[in-house]
Chain A
């Protein structure tokens, strides 16, 4: 970042910084990985249902959206109904990263380190406008805010709002479950009495 030494009025080059950070990250590894050699479709499908039914988020609340994420975990909106019973602080014990808040130039290497520490398979939800595209801070004089967390890591589900309602985050989790397993809320523990039993393709439940 040698440009700033010459004149303090030149904006730091954010695109070059993001390029520099992501060139060494594991992003190419994820996209080009060939997958397992032996595939058994039925066990794959069961595994995917289990993964979708118990996504454990990592607590990565940065700013305002973090409070809505906490509120989703609390008694009224209760995210543990949908499988996310525990919010794990350690990235090595979680499989879902909910990026809730604005990602900053100083925070970007931290985010990448945490993402690389998470074991595969892992998913990312970008919560709030700041994580999707920079939000209210995507302005002409921006020198610090990374405009969208998908410039750094691959994102699966985007939840818009500033901040989004807790119901929005729950919908995001359900959409992610649909993306993983093909069906929303695959194995509901407390099925509402009177509601029809969900039919999952290829799986016979009584």
Chain B
């Protein structure tokens, strides 16, 4: 299984983003994409054109850090896509900037409508362009209460909850050895 996924067209499709091949048996998905905020909509559009369906949109909360662009808010958004005809799962994650807003992908994937409402309920991430950002799971009075935000003492940094880099090296070595000849394969 792991060898076959390298000759699909999909990993060529997403080459303009910062992608990493992952080991499916270890992680459950084939491609990890680190996105910038302005790349989210392009990523979703490419996935829709390629025939992926939206699995979920969610977030998680880590310690906020200082980077060159400024302070991050500590929130991260996660987008997962999969296919109906083949086994290929993609996970994209994006770090939410300090103004706590991400672009909405509702006009591309209408299923994201509810996923984004729920993420706003639970984390407070504001999705720009969403037609109806009312509370979905919590009551109207609790619209400013975000239950899944962690307290200070429970927050960990992003490195503590990410795969260590040496886990990816073994996969990258395989990718270099078997160079994909994607133009001979149709989708």
Give the interface of A toward B (CB within 8 A).
1, 4-5, 8-10, 12, 105-106, 143-144
CB-CB under 8 A from A5, the residues of chain B are 144
Instruction: Count chain B CB atoms within 10 A of each CB in A4, A8, A12 and give the residue with the most.
Output: A8
Please give, as numbers and ranges, the residues of chain A lying within 8 Å of B141 by CB-CB distance: 1
Residues of the A chain whose Cβ atoms lie less than 8 Å from the Cβ of B166 = none
B59–chain A nearest beta-carbon distance, Å: 14
B residues in contact with A1, CB < 8 Å: 141-142
Minimum distance in angstroms from A174 CB to a CB of chain B? 38
Q: Is there an interface contact between A106 and B139, defined as CB atoms closer than 8 Å?
A: yes
Nearest CB on B from A104, distance (A): 9
Query: Chain A's nearest CB lies how many Å from the CB of B77?
Result: 17
| Total number of residue pairs linking A and B with CB closer than 8 Å | 24
Q: Once the chains are docked, how many angstroms separate the CA of A144 from the CA of B139?
A: 10
Q: Is the CB of B139 within 8 A of A143?
A: no
CB of A80 to closest CB in B, whole Å:
37
Give CA–CA (A9, B153) in the complex, Å. 12
Interfacial chain A residues near B138, Cβ < 8 Å: 106, 144
B48 adjacent to chain A (CB < 8 Å): no
List, in ascending order, chain A residues with CB within 8 A of B139's CB: 105-106
The A-contacting residues of B in range 138-152, CB under 8 angstroms, are 138-139, 141-142, 144-147, 149, 151
**Contact of A8 with B151 in the complex, beta carbons under 8 Å:** no
Q: Once the chains bind, are B149 and A9 in contact (CB under 8 Å)?
A: yes
Q: Count contacts on B: residues with CB < 8 A to the other chain.
A: 11
| Pick from A8, A12, A106, A144: contact of B149, CB under 8 Å | A8
Chain B interface mostly: loop
Interface residues of B (CB under 8 A from A): 124, 138-139, 141-142, 144-147, 149, 151
Q: How far is the CB of B34 from chain A (nearest CB, A)?
A: 27
Q: Give the chain A neighbours of B144 by CB distance below 8 A.
A: 4-5, 8
- Give the distance to chain B from A142, nearest Cβ to Cβ, in Å: 10
Least Cβ–Cβ distance between B18 and chain A, in angstroms: 31
Lowest 5 A-B CB distances belong to which pairs? A4-B145, A8-B146, A106-B139, A1-B141, A4-B144
Q: In the docked arrangement, what's the CA distance between A1 and B151, Å?
A: 20
Measured CA separation A1–B144 after assembly (Å): 10
Q: Which of these, A9, A12, A105, A106, contacts B151 with CB under 8 Å?
A: A9
Q: How far is the CB of A30 from chain B (nearest CB, A)?
A: 27
Contacting pair B142 A4 (CB below 8 A): yes
A180, chain B: closest CB distance, angstroms: 36
The answer for the CA separation of A5 and B142 in the assembled complex, in Å, is 9
CA A144 – CA B147 in complex, angstroms? Answer: 10
For residue A135, give the distance in angstroms from its CB to the closest CB of chain B: 19
Instruction: Report the minimum CB–CB distance from B17 to chain A (whole Å).
Output: 31
- A10: chain B residues within 8 A (beta carbon): 145
A5 to B144, CA, bound (A): 6
Q: Complex Cα distance A9/B149, Å?
A: 7
Q: What residues of chain B lie closer than 8 Å to A105, measured between beta carbons? A: 139, 142
Given A1-B141, A5-B144, A10-B145, 9 more contacts at CB 8 Å? A4-B142, A4-B144, A4-B145, A8-B144, A8-B145, A9-B149, A12-B142, A105-B139, A106-B139
* CA A8 to CA B85, docked complex, whole Å: 42
Q: Write 5 A-B pairs (CB below 8 A) sorted by A numbering.
A: A1-B142, A4-B142, A4-B144, A12-B145, A105-B139
Task: Write the nearest CB–CB distance from A44 to chain B, whole angstroms.
Answer: 43
Q: List the B residue with the shortest CB-CB distance to A107.
A: B139
Cα-based distance from A12 to B142 in the complex (angstroms):
8
Instruction: Tell me the nearest residue of chain B to A105, going by C-beta.
Output: B139
Chain B residue at minimum C-beta to C-beta distance from A141? B147
Provide the bound-state CA to CA distance between A143 and B146, in Å.
11
